[in-house]
Each structure stands twice: as structure tokens, then as C-alpha cells.
Structure 1
Amino acid sequence: MPAVKRPHPGSEGADGRTPRGRIDPLLKVSKVRACSECKRQKIKCEMKTGEPSCSGCIKKGHKCVVNNELHQFIEESHEWKSYYVSQLEQVRAAVYDLLRRNEMPDLSTYAVTHHRSTPIMEPSAPQAAAVIEHMNSSSAMAMTRENSQEPALEESELVAAPMRSLYEVTKLRNLRSNLNSVSNGPSPPSVLEQDLISRGCVSLDEAEMLFSVYSRTINQFLWGGIAMLHPDLESVRRASSLLTAAILAVAALHIPNDTDLLNTCYKEFVSLVSQSTLNRYHTLDDIRALTIGAFWLSDLSWKLSSRAVSIATEMSLHQCVRKMLKGDMSQYEGAEVWYLLYVLDHQFSTAYGRPPIIREDVAIRNFETFLECPESSQRDIRLIAQVTLFAILSKAYDLFGSDTDQEISEDSFVRIREFNVEVDRWRLRWQPQHLVSPYVGTYPSKGVALHYHFAKFQINSLSLRSITPSAKLSTDRKEAADMAISSAIATLNMVLEEPDIRNSIVGVNLYTHAMVAFSTVFLLKIAWNWKATSLNVDQAQVYNMVERIITLMSGVRASEKHITFHIANGLRRMMTHLRMRECKRIEIQTDGPEGIKETVSPGFGIFDENWHDFANVMDVFDFLQPGHWPSD
């Protein structure tokens, strides 16, 4: 009869017995065999806890060797744990140092995201293996096939995109376009638990304040809030962490005396944009987040706008209007985002002097179908007005190009007059359709007039491209140049004199700031270099308007990193430099043919003759590149 083992206290089952097949680990660990020396001498081997050798070997000075795999495992486990505990402490110290250097909250403020009702447990071996496998697979190139039947050749499209045919042949998942993702479904539930509010980077009260600032004022300048449709902060947080971060960052840019809050929100937004770069699946709210960042964050504008267009084309938003033409009005929201991206793309292609990505396709030509959709509203009228204006400017860009060394010919002024007529008709058509807003007053209607002057200025300033102040101007060229001057003056007059434009100067998007800066610099250069010509420019009037623009820009209430302060500081430096040059005017006496004495003024340094690139607004004295946002 086999010997009965004594059960270990606490190991009994419900009936007081030790469960069958269960061996208590403590009993197992206590069965350590004698060391080799004690075995040889056939004496009792006593191993004390924490001692590397048994009592007999310590007493006699022998090397204690235990041929026991479990004992060796315990020793190796102890060494392994000690090593990784030290590694963990080093990582913790490094994280603390990084948080301190970047002025971020303490490590203790970052909560562990898990369900409160679920206890924290050590992962089982299969679970750990699954996690490791997932991590390895995410960093490896995925070449997995779809779990579906082979395609029937008689059912597939005859003429399709080449990549679609490649997908039909290989059925590789990573070749499949995200064609059916125009729905604006919510992100996974964990999004809300992992955003910067849940992690304690920004308090809920601060976030609510920032959301209110954005939704009630800033958002309304963007054609009635077309880029953010959510009614409250919680809705935004559940929809997209990227959209949440974009809204908070842009709102924080308009809050005075709180640079830390801006830096925190900005860093979160940049981090999420970087993380999303290689993601395959996006929502419409993710695209809206990129557009919001592009419209207001000057150092990211071009990168974000091109990224947003790239994602939209992958989601086939450019096909939404075509589907609406076939009667599918469910494509309305995707079409609206595509029109928004068209305006964004063309605003910054104009500002940076670069060719646009989105061309005048079937969607742009058939905007009437979009406006006839039952869901269409006043915000869509404001948006489509911008679309049609930039369609005109795109034709001018395609015709005349952006080569600043290329003088336009005398024959080109016929086309310039035609473009002027198109812009006049554009204003007559769209300005009456813009109603008074409960949030921004008459800004929608006045904004049409402001963009009208922007467009007339851009088109007519081409007349002076690659022309020197000493050149003799033809009647047509002088007429266009004078129209460019009057349009630039009208732009500044609207900013200074129209209350709803003047009061909105801090909240409008980057393109408006760029065009105001461009108009101002243009007039300064004309007043300095061209005042002796027959052009219609009053130097005193220009200087007075510039001084008033400086006062307006420097007096807004916003973060010190807002672009208006950089515009004001840049213009102030230019005016100071100009005044100094006037005071130090050098009279050079030269004897002309009849002994006439001529006064020659030195060039105004940065105002040289190579200023004729009307499109490259963003390079004007780095007004719109104030440097890195986060402060060290």
C-alpha cells in the first residue's frame, strides 16, 4: 500500500482533501537533494535559506555542488528577476527625466487603462505568447491573404485600377484600398480612456473651456463649423483622439498667457499625427482633425494638408460627388469633406507657391448637385463659394505659372481682364447668399468681399512680375498694376475699418493672415521702390496703414505664439529699417549732360527688385514660421 503524503496546510479542497493531481509548489521546492560532497560522505545536507552552500560544505570549506535542476532554476530565476528589476528602475528614471525635460506631468498622473471591474492578473503563458506574436507581426511585413473565395473572372470589373486587379490575383490584405470607410463611425472605446484628458495631461475643466472657445468662435470662421460637427466634448472624445487634440491645440493657441497648456495640447496632436502616419484605416473625423491643424498651425500647415488629401483619396472621397450624380445622396458627408480639402489644398498651394494636388475634376464642376442635396445648408454655400473662387485662381495659375523670372507678355492682359470679370461675377453671385451668423455677425458676407480683394490683388500683381522699377510700363500693364495696388489697399482697409473683419482677425485661419501680410509687404515695396514711377501709390497713406495694421495685430488677445504677433513684430522691424534708411539717405552728386545734380537713394536692403513672386506668401520674412512650438 503506497505511503500517504501529508497535505500542506491550506491546500485542502472543499471536502478537506488535497485535490488529485495537485502538487503543492512549496512541498516541491522543499525537496532539495543533498549536495555532491554530503552524498559522498553520506551525511545530512542542511541548506539554509539565502546561503549559497550547505552547512557541512561551509564548515569544511568544500565547494557545494547541487545536482538539482529545480534548485538551479530557483537561483537562475532570482538572478533574472534581479537583472530586470534593475533594468526597470533605469527605464523609470529615464522616463522621469524625459517628462521633466519636456515639462510634462509626473509619471504618477498617467493612469493604467483597464476596466475597474476586472482584477489585474498576470498573463498566462498563451496570452503572453499571443502578445509577443502580435508585436512581432506588427513590425513585420504582412503578406496575408483574405479568407474568401477566389474571384470569379466573369463577375469582376473589366476595366479597373491596376492595383485592384493585383488584389484580385493575390488577395493580399495589404493591397486592399479602404474603399468603404466613408462612414464616420466611432473609434474603438479605448480611445476615450487613452486621450490626453484621461491621462491627466489636461484637466476636464480646461478641456471643456478650450472646446467652448473653439466651437463658439474659431469653428464658425471655417464656413459655419464645417470641420467640427460634434455638439460637445464627450462626443468628440469618443469619435477621434486626433480630432480632440487638434481642437484643443488650436483653441489653446487663442488663449493668452498659458503657453504650457498650448505646448501640452500641441505635443499631443503632433504625437498622434505621427502615430497615424502608417495607419490603414481612418475616419472622416481624422481627416477633419488634420484640416483643423493645417488651417491654424503655421509650422504644420503644408504637411497636414497634403496628408489629409492623401488619406481622403485612399478613402475614395473624390468619388462621392460622382456617386451623388447617379442619385446616391448618402455620399453627402464624404463629398462635403472632399470640397473642404479642395479649398484647403488650394489655399496653401497659393500661399506656398506650389502646384495644388486636387485638380478641377467632375466633383468641382458639378457643385450644383451637391448644393441640391436635402442636407445642404448655409455652411455648404459658404464652402462652395470658396471652391468656385479657387477654381478661377487655379486657371490663372495654370496659364501663367509660378516662375517669378518669367515676365508675362502684353498679349496676356486680355486674359487678366477676363479673370477680373470672372472674379467680379463670382462676388455678385455669392455675396448675397451669405447670411448673418449668430456667432460671427456679418463676417460671412464681408469675408466674401475680403476674398474678392485677395483674388483681384493676386491676379493683377502678375503684371509686375519680373519688372524693374526703371522699366517703362505699357498702358495695359500700368492699368493692371494700379488695380493690384488698389486691391491691396482695399484689403487693408477692410481689415482696419470693417468691425466684423477687424474683430475676427485673431480667429481667422492662416490663409487670411498670409494674404494680409502679403498685401502689406507688397504696398511697402511699391511705396519704396516705385514711388518715382507713374503708379498710383501714396507713400504716406501706405505707411499710415501699415502702422495701423501693426497696432491691430499686436493688440489681439491670444497666445504669444499666435501668428498675428509675429506679423506685427516683423512689420515693425521693417518699418524701423525703412525709417532708418530714409534718415540716412545719401545724396550722390552726379553731373548730368546739362550739369543737373541727381539724388540717388540706396536700395532698401530686403526690399530689392526680386520680390515679384505673388504666390510665395509663406516666405515673406518668415512671418508664418515662428519656430518650434514647444518650448524647451
Structure 2
Amino acid sequence: MSQKRPSEDVELVSDRRPSAPKPTRTRACVECKKHKIKCEPVAGEEKCAKCLRSGADCIPYNLNQRLHEEDVTWKANATAEIAQLRAAVQRLLRHGHLPDLGSFSEPSPANVISPANAVSEHGIPTAMVVPPMDMTRENSQERDLDDESGLVTAPMRSLYDLTRIRNLRTSTRWNPTASSIDEDFIAQGIISASEAEELFTRWKEKHHQYLWAGMLMAHQTLDAVRRHSSLLTAAVLTVAAVHSPGQNDLLQRCYNAFVSLAYSTSLSRVHSLDDIRALCLAAFYLSNLSWKLSGLAVRNAVEMNLHQAFHKLMRGHSEQRDNVRLWYACYVLEHQFSIAYGRPPLMHEDTAVKNIEAFLDSPLTTSGDVRLCAQVALFKVLTEAYMAYGSDPEQPLSEPDFQQLRVFNFAIEQWRLAWQPRSADSHSIGSYPSKGVVLYYHFARFQLNSLALRALPAPSAASSESLSYDRREAANIAISAATSTLTLIFEEPDLRRALPGVPIFTHTMVAFCATFLLKMAKTWGGVAQAASPEWTTEPLGLGLNFNISQVLSLSRRSANLLARVAENLNEKHLTRHIVAGIRELLKHFDATETPASNGAHALAPANVNGVVGQQQVDFANNYNMYDLIGSYGFGFDETFLGQAASSDFDLWPS
């Protein structure tokens, strides 16, 4: 057998190769995919072997087609589920006597706002989600005669009984509105969780106890506050940020969140007790919102029938005790700022205010209850004085008015004797409760008796009318009380330690007293200097026990003390502006003290730059007693108090 040549082997192998490549498919067709078999292409044919045998169309399988089919199936199922849910919701609405589902409108995404974008860079709302004006009627058209408590009902109740319009019915739900932690402004990242925890801790450690042993904050953790009220959460964090130095950006973010939520709840028909606590808390500490928030808190409290809580408590409903506490807190808040602004109060002396001893006569009474009721009793007296004397800056007190003024002074004396021993010291804030009673006592005496100087004619060197004995007596009490207010703060360490954490009303006490004394020295001292160029202790028939050296010293010490307090506060805290205001007034006086002979505390002249100048006389000629004492109130929104400018918070003044 002959051997083949290598070339012959190559030729035979070459002959066994196919003449044309076998067609391939990148993916199976629909039919083969459906039957889960291998899709075999056929040379020269557009169809695969399976489709050729069966005569079916050979369509390549498309993944998008599968997604489309699955999408159709999902939408069909979702449509069925939505229809089922709508039916269930409609049934629940009918069962709860609520409007049909069709009466609710869904806001478009463009109109939905969150605390992050609720206010513009100037603090003004950029958009608001306005709910529809609901004039729907209750499902039941029959009057519920079983609910009638008598023949005499409120007019709105009668109108509701007649029309059955839902929005005419006052909401009396007292259960707190649940707030989802997953949806609040912290969850949205406006305030980080770590920042919120730090601010909440600061609040608990430095401010919590000063408002009647924490009465306005019953929750112990940040998570608990967030679950109960986003508004209260924002209020606490904002107040804490106001007391955090060097945290302007954090303060602005907290403030924006609070303002956004406050706008949203201002016209809401459903509120919680924690929402009212939030409004009170913010009003005590945010100067530019205090007046608006205090009024809103009172109206919301009345809408929730807190004014009826005392009667229910006296009938044995012990769960109403917290509601009575909140009603008292609203009373104190609203009367503080009514006095501060010189405006009439909204809340009157109701049964709860008249019977605070009945509220305290309980084994459940706390130290915070005593401190709160002490404030209620004090502002009850001051409100009576407001009603008696009004706030007209051009209406001087007549001589018969001073007899009633003595009655008010006696009531203030009795108030101190009754409440100072009952205000027990605290482990966390020391003697602040009892010393705070003394501080408010001096301030109340000052405020009442300063009315003796209201609307007096401008003093002048040529004509200086003598003050009557009664008017001079009251004016001297005012001077003494203002001096005692400032002195007490310097001498009591617990009061000095409390200054950074107390509400702004206490800071304005210092501001008002210092301002009053300085303007007294400037105005009446200028008259004394112009009338007698020589240093003299002669009171010029005025008989006022006034020492300019002491006034200047106390005012400087007040400004320095508040300046040290302001170092631990944010730049937008009211205290910084009070310091600037006092120091501006001090510029009119020389640093050296004026002499006083024989140790007498007589009205001595002011010496500007060591020279008897025309400036004092000009000041007297431009005399304005309203600018001096601010009518009955102390002009909380007047410039001489150094209130923070509205631009500090990018919000218009309240």
C-alpha cells in the first residue's frame, strides 16, 4: 500500500469543509421561546426550522415586548387595587360622617411646600397649599337632641344645628396629632439628626426648668417630641439655636422650619395641646414673633375648650389638670406681652384665674404649679391696674388716682409675702424660684408707680412746677424699685446664672429699668443743671430721691452683665441689642460721678464731658414723657428698648 503525500491529505481535508457558513441567530424567536426549544436557523431562509415546519411567523423575541406585557399586567392589577381602596375609603368616610372622597382635591407637586422651601430668603412664604373651602354638610340632617345641654346655646352652635355645615363645628379633639418621624423636617435633612440632638440636649439642660419646672415640655427625648408634634420640635430647636453662639446658619434653618409650620397651623381647624405649647414656648423666647404667637396660642386654646378644663377638674376629672396648667400658661404669656406692648389683654379674669388656690389644693400639686400660679396672681393685679389707668400716653394720673394706686401697691406687697415662701428652691436652678418672686415684685412696683410721671408737662429751667406729695411719693417708689431690680440681679448669683435661660420678658425688665433711670437723669438732671450751674443737692421743689452717680454705676454694670450673658447667646438674641441700647444712652454722660453733699440722694445734674453744655437744655426742650416710660406698658417694640431689628430674622416685625 503506497503512502499518501502530505499534499494529498491537505486536499482531502479541504474538500470536507462546507462551501457556505451556517447562519446563526443572536436570540430565539417568539415561537421557540414559547415552547422552550432550541431555535435552529436554516441556510437561505428567514425562518427557523420550527417555524418552517409549522408555518408560523418567525418573529425574533423582544425584551421590550416582555416588559410591555408585564407593565400592562401590573397596571391592571394596580387599577383593581386602587378601585378597591377607594371603595374602602369611601365607606370609612361615610361611617365617620365626613365629606365624600370627591370633595378632597390633591395639590399639584408644584404647589407643595416643605419647611425647606416654605419661606423665601426674606422669610416670606413663597407658596401655600390652600385647602378647598369646605361647605359640605353632615350626612345626618337631623338634630341630635341628646346632645342639648340646655335651651341657651352659643350662636355658632345654633347655626351649625340649622345648617349642619361641618366647618362651623368646633373641633374638640384633644388627642395629639401624630407626626411621622419619617416625614418631618429632620427626616428631610433640613436639620441633621446630630444637630437636632445637640440642640434638644442644650434645651433640656439650660432652659427646660425655667418655665415652671418644664411644664411646657413633657417629653423626655427628641424622638418622643417628633412623634407628637413637628411644631413643638421646631420650636424647641429654634429656641435652643437662639441660645447657641456662632450658629447663625443653624438658627436660620430652624427658624425657617418653625415659621413654615406655624404658617401652616395658623388657619388649621385641628390642633393638639403640644401645638399650643409650641406657640407659647416660641412666644416666650422669640422677640419678633412674641405678640402674634401669644394671640394665636390663646385663640387655639379657646377653640380646644381649655377655658372649660378648670370646671371639669373641679368635678373630679383629674386628667384635666394638664389642660388647666396650659390655660394658666397662656394667661401669663398673653398678659406679659400685653403689658410689654402696652396693649389690652385678650384673656379676662375667669373662674380658673379667680380660684387658683382651689387648683393648688391637691396632692398632685408640683413646685412648677406654685410658680405658675404665682405669676397668674401677679398679672391679675397688674391687669386690674391697666383697666383702671389705661395706656393713653397723654393722660396723666389725677390726684384721686393715687388712692387707688396705694391699693395696688398694697396688693403687690401682699403678693410677695404670700408667694415667696411657697416658691421652693430647686436642685437644678437653685434659689431662682423664690428670688424670681422678689425680682417680679420690684419690677411690678416700678411699673405701677412710674405712671405717676406719665404725661407731665416738660420740665424747664424757667418754670419747674413742684410735684404733689402723692405724685412725688409714687415717683420715688418707682425710682427705688427700678434701682432695686438692677441691684438684685447683681447681688443674687442664682439670678445671674438664670439670665441666659429665662424668657425675654426678664431681659426687658433690666432694659426698662436702666432706660427709665438714665432718661430720668438726662431729662430732670438737665433741668437742675440749667437752673443751678453750681453743683447742688437742692431738689428744686421736686423732692425726688435720685442719685445720678448711682444711676450711672448701675446702668454700666447692667450693660456689662448683659454683655457677658450675650457672649453665650446667638448674635440675634435680644440681649445683644439691649446692651447696645443702654450703652448708646450712656454716651450722653461723663464717666465721672457727680458729687452729692451730706450723703443725700438728691437729684443731681448730669455733666457731659465735664462741661455744663447746651446739650442738656436741648434734651429737656425735646422732652417726651412717653419716650421716657412708654405709657402703661414699656413699649416693647420701641427703639429705646433696643429690640432686635426685623431684618435680623428676615421677617417683618410683629
Q: TM-score, normalised by structure 2?
A: 0.73
CA distance in 1, matches of 2:327, 2:76: 47
User: Partner of 2:213 in structure 1?
Assistant: 224
State which of 500, 506, 514 in structure 2 corresponds to 1:506. 500
* Residue 583 in structure 1 maps to residue 599 in structure 2: no
Question: What is the deviation of 1:510?
Answer: 1.4
> Does the Cα contact within 8 Å between 1:447 and 1:501 map onto a contact in 2?
yes
Match runs of 1:296-335 below 5 Å: 296-335=285-324
User: Partner of 1:353 in structure 2?
Assistant: 342
CA distance in 1, matches of 2:179, 2:31: 45
State which of 446, 450, 453 in structure 2 corresponds to 1:461. 450
Per-residue Cα deviation, 1:578-623 (whole angstroms, up to 9, x for no partner): 44982385657xxxxxxxxxx9732169864443424133114252
Amino acid at match of 1:397: Y
State which of 535, 550, 572 in structure 1 corresponds to 2:544. 535
* Residue 564 in structure 1 maps to residue 553 in structure 2: no
Amino acid at match of 1:395: E
CA distance in 2, matches of 1:527, 1:327: 57
User: Partner of 2:399 in structure 1?
Assistant: 410
> Does the Cα contact within 8 Å between 1:182 and 1:317 map onto a contact in 2?
no
Amino acid at match of 2:132: A
Per-residue Cα deviation, 1:257-285 (whole angstroms, up to 9, x for no partner): 11111111111101110111221111110
> Does the Cα contact within 8 Å between 1:320 and 1:334 map onto a contact in 2?
yes
* Residue 483 in structure 1 maps to residue 494 in structure 2: no
Question: What is the deviation of 1:399?
Answer: 0.6
CA distance in 2, matches of 1:120, 1:249: 46
User: Partner of 1:135 in structure 2?
Assistant: 106
User: Partner of 1:188 in structure 2?
Assistant: 178
CA distance in 1, matches of 2:182, 2:76: 20
1:587–1:237 distance in 2 versus 1, CA, 3 Å: closer
> Does the Cα contact within 8 Å between 1:520 and 1:546 map onto a contact in 2?
yes
State which of 615, 618, 630 in structure 1 corresponds to 2:633. 615
User: Partner of 1:627 in structure 2?
Assistant: 646
Gaps of 5+ in 2: 1-27, 37-73, 87-100, 108-128, 529-541, 592-606
CA distance in 1, matches of 2:358, 2:349: 15
User: Partner of 2:232 in structure 1?
Assistant: 243
Amino acid at match of 1:264: R
Per-residue Cα deviation, 1:507-561 (whole angstroms, up to 9, x for no partner): 1111111121111110001112223342111101101111111111111211111
Per-residue Cα deviation, 1:2-61 (whole angstroms, up to 9, x for no partner): xxxx9957997xx99xxxxxxxxxxxxxxxxxxxxxxxxxxxxxxxxxxxxxxxxxxxxx
Match runs of 1:545-556 below 5 Å: 545-556=554-565
CA distance in 2, matches of 1:394, 1:165: 34
CA distance in 2, matches of 1:293, 1:269: 9
User: Partner of 1:173 in structure 2?
Assistant: 166
User: Partner of 2:617 in structure 1?
Assistant: 601
Amino acid at match of 1:521: T
CA distance in 2, matches of 1:337, 1:240: 16
CA distance in 2, matches of 1:381, 1:433: 7
Amino acid at match of 1:571: I
Segment of structure 1 superposing worse, 253-262 or 195-204: 195-204
Question: What is the deviation of 1:412?
Answer: 1.2
SS of structure 1 residue aligned to 2:500 = coil
1:629–1:240 distance in 2 versus 1, CA, 3 Å: farther
Per-residue Cα deviation, 1:456-496 (whole angstroms, up to 9, x for no partner): 01111111111133331011111110000000000000122
> Does the Cα contact within 8 Å between 1:585 and 1:602 map onto a contact in 2?
no
Per-residue Cα deviation, 1:420-454 (whole angstroms, up to 9, x for no partner): 11111111111111111122111111000000011
> Does the Cα contact within 8 Å between 2:235 and 2:278 map onto a contact in 1?
yes
1:7–1:258 distance in 2 versus 1, CA, 3 Å: same
CA distance in 1, matches of 2:145, 2:174: 27
CA distance in 1, matches of 2:610, 2:184: 58
Alpha-carbon RMSD: 3.1
> Does the Cα contact within 8 Å between 1:453 and 1:491 map onto a contact in 2?
yes
Question: What is the deviation of 1:297?
Answer: 0.3
Percent identical: 43
CA distance in 1, matches of 2:649, 2:146: 58
Question: What is the deviation of 1:200?
Answer: 1.5
CA distance in 1, matches of 2:368, 2:329: 11
Segment of structure 1 superposing worse, 399-408 or 612-621: 612-621
CA distance in 2, matches of 1:447, 1:224: 13
SS of structure 2 residue aligned to 1:300 = helix
SS of structure 1 residue aligned to 2:190 = coil
> Does the Cα contact within 8 Å between 1:454 and 1:488 map onto a contact in 2?
yes
Question: What is the deviation of 1:506?
Answer: 1.8
1:385–1:478 distance in 2 versus 1, CA, 3 Å: same
> Does the Cα contact within 8 Å between 1:143 and 1:174 map onto a contact in 2?
yes
1:306–1:390 distance in 2 versus 1, CA, 3 Å: same
Aligned residues: 510
User: Partner of 2:257 in structure 1?
Assistant: 268
CA distance in 2, matches of 1:121, 1:304: 51
User: Partner of 2:138 in structure 1?
Assistant: 146
1:448–1:135 distance in 2 versus 1, CA, 3 Å: same
SS of structure 1 residue aligned to 2:153 = coil
Segment of structure 1 superposing worse, 357-366 or 569-578: 569-578
SS of structure 1 residue aligned to 2:426 = coil
> Does the Cα contact within 8 Å between 1:267 and 1:630 map onto a contact in 2?
no
CA distance in 2, matches of 1:574, 1:120: 74
Amino acid at match of 1:407: P
Question: What is the deviation of 1:416?
Answer: 0.9
* Residue 523 in structure 1 maps to residue 513 in structure 2: no
Amino acid at match of 1:171: R
Amino acid at match of 1:135: E
CA distance in 2, matches of 1:471, 1:258: 54
Per-residue Cα deviation, 1:185-222 (whole angstroms, up to 9, x for no partner): 3x3352x1222221112222221111111112212111
User: Partner of 2:155 in structure 1?
Assistant: 162
State which of 549, 553, 563 in structure 2 corresponds to 1:544. 553
> Does the Cα contact within 8 Å between 1:217 and 1:439 map onto a contact in 2?
no
Segment of structure 1 superposing worse, 234-243 or 547-556: 547-556
1:120–1:418 distance in 2 versus 1, CA, 3 Å: farther
> Does the Cα contact within 8 Å between 1:515 and 1:617 map onto a contact in 2?
no
CA distance in 1, matches of 2:154, 2:575: 46
CA distance in 2, matches of 1:605, 1:560: 36
User: Partner of 1:449 in structure 2?
Assistant: 438
Amino acid at match of 2:166: R
Task: Flag as ranges the 4+ runs of structure 1 deviating above 6 A.
Answer: 9-12, 119-123, 127-132, 604-607
> Does the Cα contact within 8 Å between 2:393 and 2:454 map onto a contact in 1?
yes
1:482–1:149 distance in 2 versus 1, CA, 3 Å: same
Amino acid at match of 1:475: Y
Structure (1 or 2) with the larger CA radius of gyration? 2
1:607–1:159 distance in 2 versus 1, CA, 3 Å: same
1:120–1:582 distance in 2 versus 1, CA, 3 Å: farther
Amino acid at match of 1:178: S
